[in-house]
């Protein structure tokens, strides 16, 4: 016959708390301990009588500690002050507003080929289907457009516009 769950908590509570403290530190250990025994209490009626209860509880505690670690990684970090405005980091060409003026000066096929290839990332076969030509023509239009941009755009070599 299984022992009452209260006896399980009394007998193995210290061991589970040690496991939680070793994996999480003192701050989060109490939460993990509570979560462990809540989960164990729900599953205890289906646990076979021959099960190693201590090993079972330690496994649950380890998984709860992993859950707490993962949850902590999703929490935002505090910063001393907020930025003045939105960042341009990761926005293609955000720092090169004049570049778009030079792209607009390109012939239409070159401009479209460059846009589809370098901004959208389409393969040349799809670009050819969109523009209505061959794959070689799409590749040539993109290459010619990039060459023309390097010739007319003043920041082409200093800002790393070569690709």
Tell me the pLDDT tens digit for each residue of 43-76: 999 999 899 999 999 999 999 999 998 888 888 8
Query: How far is residue 16's CA from residue 35's CA, in Å, rounded to a whole number?
Result: 11
pTM flag (> 0.75) = no
Which stretches in the chain have pLDDT values below 70? 86-97, 155-163
Which segments of 49-158 does DSSP mark as H helices, in order?
Answer: 53-74, 97-104, 108-114, 124-131, 135-152
CA 41/CA 30 separation, integer angstroms: 16
**CATH number for domain 97-152, candidates 2.60.40.1580, 1.10.10.10, 1.10.10.60, 1.10.540.10:** 1.10.10.10
Q: Fold for domain 5-74? A: Rna Polymerase Sigma Factor; Chain: A (1.10.1740)
DSSP code, position 117? I
DSSP assignment of 20-47, as one string? HHHHH-HHHHHHHHHHHHHHHHHHGGGS
């Amino acid at each position: 016959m299984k022992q009452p769950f209260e006896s399980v908590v009394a007998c193995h509570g210290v061991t589970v708390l040690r496991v939680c403290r070793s994996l999480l530190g003192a701050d989060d250990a109490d939460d993990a301990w509570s979560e462990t025994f809540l989960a164990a209490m729900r599953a205890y009626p289906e646990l076979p009588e021959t099960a190693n209860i201590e090993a079972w509880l330690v496994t649950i505690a380890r998984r709860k500690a992993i859950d707490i670690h993962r949850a902590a990684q999703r929490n935002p970090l505090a910063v001393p002050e907020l930025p003045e405005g939105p960042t341009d980091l990761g926005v293609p060409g955000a720092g090169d507003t004049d570049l778009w003026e030079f792209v607009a000066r390109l012939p239409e096929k070159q401009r479209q080929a460059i846009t589809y290839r370098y901004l959208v990332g389409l393969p040349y076969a799809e670009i050819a289907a969109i523009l209505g030509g061959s794959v070689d023509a799409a590749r040539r239009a993109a290459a010619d457009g990039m060459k023309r941009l390097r010739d007319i755009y003043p920041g082409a070599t200093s800002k790393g516009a070569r690709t």
